[in-house]
Structures are given as structure tokens and as C-alpha cells.
Structure 1
Amino acid sequence: MSIKKVTQHPSQNEALIFERSQSGRVGYRLPKLDVEELNLNEIIPAELRRDDDLDGVPEVSEVDVIRHFTRISTWNYSIDLGMYPLGSCTMKYNSRLNEKVARIPGFANLHPLAPEEEAQGALELIYKLQQDLCEITGLAGISLQPAAGAQGEMTGVMLIRAFLDARDGEASKDRRVMLIPDSAHGTNPASAAMSGFTVKTIRSTSEGLTDLDHLRELCAGGDVAGLMLTNPNTVGLFERNIKEICGIIHDAGGLVYMDGANMNALVGVARPGDMGVDVIHLNLHKTFSTPHGGGGPGCGPCCCTLELEPFLPVPRIVKDGENYKL
């Protein structure tokens, strides 16, 4: 007896749309002409017209097209089919109601170059979002300029560098070490390296928490610019020594960046600013409810302390009397 090797997944044996084409099939039916018929040759110059009769374009019925793309759409892994397999991020289901709200025409269709006086509603909404996020994080400054979580993360690291350059002047070049626990979000080392820092890893204890003795050892050299950590960390544990960790970094002359990937666990319970954190980015598609993937997130807010606020990217929305402006 022989066993035939399966070379293709049985549920994914779907022909290409071109292979489903059959001559003469159409997927549309135009209504009866109710205006004067014109000669196409008189309207469109010959050099702008195709002369190959759309050779190669598949000829398929409407139902064939719908079934084909519906079938292959089920091959995509999505939040509708299962939990997101991203262990370091609290990815979740976002209510469809919030996506409907995000598509309200008055906001979604507002022209980006509309004058401020005609965009007061949108500006007010964004301004209030800024205020709410500052209250949630316990930090005074915020910018909504970063386009996504990863960009918000890098913005936070660049804030630290800009602040140190302004504070220490030429001596800041000697502070180019970014400390990152081995339990931090995996993107943190990349953001630090791209911002010109040398990354040094802090060990975790047997409990899965940041090793304070190793942290103090790494801070002893005087070259530490800051610390990047995720809280709760990527093994799902809240860093209960977070205030002491922040104190060690501040005493060493550095700043503390917190990755907001797991902020779901803290919202309404504790505020990073109260823990001693200097800067944090938020993922609106994780902690809040903007669309995942192609429909979002569109923004990765960066919140910071008052002393870091002057270094935030602009423009930012401010309130001037009863009006809002950039």
C-alpha cells in the first residue's frame, strides 16, 4: 500500500480568477440607453483608447467573482476568526460600533486642508482626546503626530535624546546607552538603535521581573540615557518595583520610557506618570478601539512630562478662548 503525499491544502485549492474565465461570461448588465448615442471615436482620441479588446482580462460572472474572493478571504487570519497571536501585545476585539462611529461622514470626509474655522468640530474632538489621554496616563504633554504605535515608540525615544542634548549640551554624546529589560516589548531595541543609542539588556529575576541589582550595576557607568520597559511586561507580570526602577534611572541622570503595548491592564487602575515614567506611547488599536490593520491605527500618541513637552513634534491642537487651532 502506498500513501499519496498531499501537496496542497484541501481547503485552499482555489483557481486564480484568470483560470476561472470563460469566454462570453459577463458580470454586469448595463441599463437601456436613455440618452443620445455618440460615436466613441469622436469623443476619445485613438492614442488614448485600447485596441486589444481587453485581452487577458478574465470573463467571469458576478456570482463567480463574489464566491472566489469570499473563499480566499477566509484564508486570512483575522480577529473575526480567532485571537491575535501576538504574545507581547494585548490585541483584542474592537466593537463594530466604534468602526461605524469612525466613519461618520462629517469627520471621515473632512478635507485635510479645510480652514480651521470650518473644522472646529474635528479639532475640538481631537483636543478632548488629547486631554483624556493625558489624564489616563498621568502625563502633561501629548502629541498625536506619530502615525502608528511603532512610530510613537520611536518618537518617545527621540524625545529623550532631544531633551538630553538640550540639558547636557556637548556632554550628551557620552549618554548613549539605552537599558532594556529582556522582558520588554520586542520592538524597543530597534527604536533605540535607530535613534542612535547602544542597547544593553537588563536580566530578569527568576520571578520574571526586572533585576534591580543588575539595573544598578548597568547604571554605575554614568553613560545611561534612559530605560525602555513594558509594564505589565511581556510575560504578563506587573513590574511591582516600577517606582524604584524609575528612581534608579533618574538618579543616574536618565529618563524612563514605558511601552504602552500592555496598557489595557492599567487603564483606570494606575497611571504611568504617577509611577515616575517620563514618556509613553499608546496603541489606539490595542488599548482603545481604532481599527486594526489596513483601516488603522492612524495614530500612535506620545505622552510625556511637562519638561519633555517642548520637544514634542508639531503641530498640536490647542484651545484659544472658545476656539481650537493648530
Structure 2
Amino acid sequence: MTRVVVDKIEVQQDGLKFGDPIGCHYHWLEPDKVDSYGDSVRRLAAKVELAADGFERTATLSEEVFAGEAADALRDRAGRRHEESVSVRDNLRGLGRAINAYSDVLRRHREGLDQLRAFAAAQGLEIRDNRIWPPVETIAGDAPQKEIDAWERDWKAYQQCFETKIELRDARRVSTRELIKALADHAGVHPDKDRARFVAADANQVKFGELRREAAEEAMEAVQANDRADAAQRTVDGLKRREQSALDDLEEMVLAERPPAEIQAQADKVAALHRELTEARVEAREADTVADREQAQANRAARNLEDAEAGKPRLADQTSWQSADLKDRLG
């Protein structure tokens, strides 16, 4: 008996090995349905684009059109919403493009499988149960040369089908990874590649995923605290402008020798604004203190994550695991 002499391709993924039946049936999502979903995502991005334009126009309203404290707050909020909507718009656009690109890959994959099946049929290979079956593994050593040549030709045709199948599968997997990355970027959540790795922390073990979540939470709290501090400072600035404007009006009323009752009412207004401004300054200082504290905690969490990824030992919070003082335990 004689065994065919060809180079086997080692393929670990899916357990597909040279000599196995080659599947040629398309069983993934229909490309047209995937394409339709990608188009809907891109249409949503177009709607977000309209919102971004509206926020931008609001944020750029001039003082001549809309002035005052409420106008300043509206412009500031519209500016932040514009940045957020632009980010969402860009993410949706990228996600829609990735989905449309994936549908093209699926379409090429389906067409490639159809061509693979047609090629195998044209070469006379057996196709059964939507699979291309390899030729017989052995042939008698005393078989006629014509039969041996046909047997080797069938094996070469099978090898070509096998290599084509691997290329089609790898191209689809690359596009799938790109789609997953686009989805992760859009959602702001990325798979934890190091979930099985640990960093020593004395008696405890700390997962990379926990460190990442901790750093993300601390960073978000720091951002929110800074936003509150900025809002408090904007309130102070607005009150300062109102107080100065009220003082200017009071000065003009005094110079114009307006009735005492009007001057007193304006003076009371200035005094009320001054009290409100004093309280706002206290709140702003407190907000700044909180923001500084949250930023320090965020920086510490970021350093812990950086040290862990660099392989440096991370000390656990001693208050969370150390036993009480011996003096307290023994009296």
C-alpha cells in the first residue's frame, strides 16, 4: 500500500486538520440583514449630527443675542453637550462603517464557499452533507499509473480546497475582531485581556480587572468633582458680575440724586448680592477641596494600575486586613 505524500497544514483552531472533511455550507447571518443594521446605525449618527449642530449653535450665541447668568449657564451646558454628542456621533459612524464592512466580509465569505463548492465539484471530489470529502487515503502499490496519477491529482485538488477554506476563515475572523473592537470603542468597555493574571499584595491577590475598574471609577468621580467645582466657580463669576453691575447702578443713582427710597432699595439689592456671593465663594472653595481630593485618589488608583501592569508589587490597604493592636487585644 502507498500513502499519499503531501505537506499537511497544521490548523489548531476549530480542530480542522488536513485530511478532514471541509465544510462549504454558509450558516452565518445574512449579509443583507447585517448591512441593513449598519445603515440604521449610520442614520442614527446623522440624527446625532443634527443634535450636535444645535448644541454648537446654542453654545456660540453671542452676548448681544442672549446675555446674563442664565445665558452663560446655557452656553456652558450646550458646549459640554456638543462635545458629548460629537463623540457619540463619531462612535456611531465608526460602528456603522465596521458593521457594513463586516457584511461585505460575510458576503465575500458566502461567495467564496460557493466557489469552493463549485471548484470541488469540477475537480470530481465527493461532496456530501455540505462537506468536501478527501480522497481515499491509500492506494494499492501495484495500481496502474493512470489510477495513481488521478489519485494524486485528487489530493492536490483537495489540498487547494483546504488552503482556500483556511484563507476564507481567517479573513472572516479578522473582520470579526475589528467589529468587536468597534463595538468595544462605542460602548467604552474593553475585554479584560489579563483577567487570569494576578499581582501580589501581601496576603491578598488583586486582579487586573479590579484595578482597572477602580481606576475608572476614581477617574469618573474626579471628573464629576471637577465639573461641580467649575460650576461653582461659574456661579461665583456670575454673581461678581451682577454685584458689580448693581454697584454701578447704585453709583449712577447717587450721582443722579434719585429719591432716597430708590437708592435704599438698590443698596439692599447690592447687599443681598454680596451675601449670596459670599456663600457662593464658600461653596466654591469646598468644591475645589473635594475636587483636589478626588483627583488625588484618581491619581493614586492610576499609579496602582500602572505599577501592577509593570509587574511591581502593590501594597494592600493595611487597615483592611491587619489585626488590631496587641495592646488593645491584651489590655
Please report the TM-score for the alignment, with normalisation by the length of structure 2.
0.19
Bigger proportion of residues as strand? 1
TM superposition score normalised by structure 1: 0.19
More helix by share: 2
Bigger RCO (CA 8 Å, 6+ sep)? 1
User: Max radius of gyration: which structure?
Assistant: 2
